Amino acid sequence: MNFRPAMKPRPKKRNKTRIKTKKKDPLFIDGKRPRPMYVDYKDIELLRKLINRHGRIVSRRKTGCSAVSQRAVTQAIKRARFMALLPYTGE
């Protein structure tokens, strides 16, 4: 027969309300989306901000890019890597 001692009930935790702040899209100019959406693959300073130290593309959640911007950023990073302007791996 298994005997289990009486356990005290845990006090209930209060949920902390988090205020989500909308990050500003780094590609928008004066608050407007450039049309057509294009990110220059030769703009290494901008692209370096959008990859982490391991050389991976940073997610939309962290950068604040919209879906359209993120696709353009991804395409530009891949082109820059192919042209050997950015490394495929981190340093």
The 10s digit of each residue's pLDDT in 48-90 is 999 999 999 999 988 888 898 999 999 999 999 999 999 998 7
State the pTM of this model. 0.72
For residue 51, list its beta bridge partners. 57
The 10s digit of each residue's pLDDT in 5-30 is 677 777 777 777 777 777 788 888 77
